[in-house]
């Protein structure tokens, strides 16, 4: 078994036996450890509370030397996630130049959860959401809740 698969299997075991709160992990296909389905609860205290967000985590063949890719499959109105079918997320830990093999998938998942609680508008990919988040927080929260109800059931 390639060393990348060994590492992924270990991390998968860690996440499934002792899952972080509000995160559920399963394999898309049992025979392939590289693609993970994630279901993330909208964190309490955020406009996403009550929603269940599906994410797809893809681990490259040269993991852990290249960062995993993570996308929201559920639409989410968030400054750091594109509001489209790709749901591409901008998160520092996953940038290729910042990625280190000592980062774990678990820390990627908790960082994602944290991003829902605290968006980073200065590093936004969805600029209109970022504008609202900065200038009209109430309006932003309202819209985010509406979209959560609409998409993230």
Partner 1 sequence: MFQPQPTPFYPFSSYGPPPVSSVPQLAQFHPAGPGDSVAPTMFADPIFTPTPVASDAGLSFHFHNTNNNTNPNNLPPRYKMSGQGVSDLEAQEELARNFQPDLQGPLVGEKKSSLAIAEEYAKADPIYVAKTTALPQKYSHYRPILGDGNCGWRAAGFSYFETLLRLGNQAQLEEEVARMISLNNFLTTVGGFEDWLFEDMVEETTSLLKDLAELMPTSPQAAADLLRQRFNDPNVSNAIVYHLRLLASSWLKGSVATYQGFIPDNLGVDGYRKNWLEPVDQEIDHLGMTLLIDVLLKPIGFSVEIVYLDRSEGTQVNSHIIQAQDSNGAPTNPGGPVIHLLYRPSHYDILYKDRPPIPLQAVAEMTRNPNIQVHRATNFTQHPSSIQSTPMGQFSQLDLNTLLSIPGFGLPSQPSHQGYASQYQSPIEQGYAASPISSISPISPGASSATTPSSTVLQPAFSAPPPPPASSSLTSPKLATPIATFPQSTTLPVHSHLPPPQRPTLTTHQLLAGDVPSPSSAGSYFRPSKYEWEAAADRAQEGPVQFLTSTFKNSHYNTAHYNNPNFQPEEWNPDGEEQITSRKRSS
Between 65 and 139, whose beta carbon lies closer to partner 1?
Answer: 65
Could you confirm whether 14 is annotated as catalytic?
Answer: no
Contacts (Cβ under 8 Å, ≥6 apart) of 71 = 55, 56, 86, 87, 88, 89
Give residue for tokens 């200065």: 122
Q: Tell which one of 30, 97, 118, 122 touches partner 1 (CB under 8 A).
A: 97
Number of residues that bind partner 1 (CB under 8 A): 17
Strand ranges, E, within the chain: 23-29, 32-41, 52-58, 69-72
> 95: burial class by Cβ within 10 Å (0-12, 13-18, 19+)?
exposed
Which member of 90, 106, 111, 120 is catalytic? 90
Q: How many CB atoms lie within 10 A of CB 149?
A: 11
| CB closer to partner 1 out of 19 and 101 | 101
- Does 61 engage in binding with partner 1 (CB under 8 A)? yes
32 binding partner 1? (CB under 8 A): no
The catalytic site residues sit at 90
- Footprint of partner 1 (CB under 8 A): 2-4, 6-7, 10, 61-62, 65-66, 96-102
């Amino acid at each position: 078994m390639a060393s990348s698969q060994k590492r992924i299997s270990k991390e998968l075991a860690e996440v499934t036996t002792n899952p972080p709160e509000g995160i559920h992990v399963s394999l898309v296909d049992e025979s392939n450890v590289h693609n993970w389905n994630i279901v993330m609860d909208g964190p309490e205290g955020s406009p996403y509370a009550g929603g269940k967000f599906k994410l797809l985590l893809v681990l490259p063949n040269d993991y852990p030397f290249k960062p995993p890719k993570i996308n929201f499959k559920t639409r989410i109105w968030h400054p750091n996630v594109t509001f489209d079918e790709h749901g591409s997320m901008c998160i520092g830990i996953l940038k290729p130049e910042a990625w280190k093999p000592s980062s774990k998938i678990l820390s990627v998942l908790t960082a994602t959860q944290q991003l829902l609680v605290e968006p980073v508008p200065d590093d936004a990919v969805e600029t209109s959401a970022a504008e609202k988040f900065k200038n009209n927080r109430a309006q932003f929260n309202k819209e985010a809740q509406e979209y959560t109800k609409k998409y993230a059931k």
